[in-house]
Amino acid sequence: MARKTKDIRNVTLSDFYCTKCGMKGIPVFRTIGQEREPGHLKKLFCLHCQEETNMAEIRPRGKYTLDDFWIEYQGGNFTSSGDRIEPWKNFVSNYKKEEK
């Protein structure tokens, strides 16, 4: 059977943060079980930049947290076009190692 209607119990609200300005974007609903990998980047319109930018997805109780985003953002792991230089797991674990 095709599931056409979205059951509200099966969706989760993801936050998006702009890789360019670091501001929070417009949240997007995701169907549970169909989420992307942690720290997924998605092209969305940023209200602050007034253009489409890559935004990092942060899910409630997800593996990729706002802390991880800030480490990447402030540590310079995003290029000016919003692409990731290193996989976030590597980048964040290296960063935490250096901090010690």
x/- letters, 57..96, toward Zn ion (CB under 5 A): ----------------------------------------
Smallest distance, Zn ion to C-beta of residue 14, A: 17
Q: What is the dihedral of CA 30, 32, 36, 37, to 10 degrees?
A: 140
Q: How far is CA 2 from CA 5, 6, 10, 71, in A?
A: 9, 11, 15, 41
Q: Counting contacts by CB under 5 A, is residue 55 touching Zn ion?
A: no
Distance CA 12, CA 42 (A): 16
Distance CA 11, CA 16 (A): 16
Q: Counting contacts by CB under 5 A, is residue 41 touching Zn ion?
A: no
Residues 93/99, Cβ–Cβ less than 8 Å: no
Among 11, 21, 28, 44, binds Zn ion (CB under 5 A): 21
**Stretch of residues binding Zn ion (CB under 5 A), selected from 6-14, 38-46, 69-77, 84-92:** 38-46
Among 15, 18, 54, 82, binds Zn ion (CB under 5 A): 18
Q: Which residues bind Zn ion (CB under 5 A)?
A: 18, 20-21, 46, 48-49
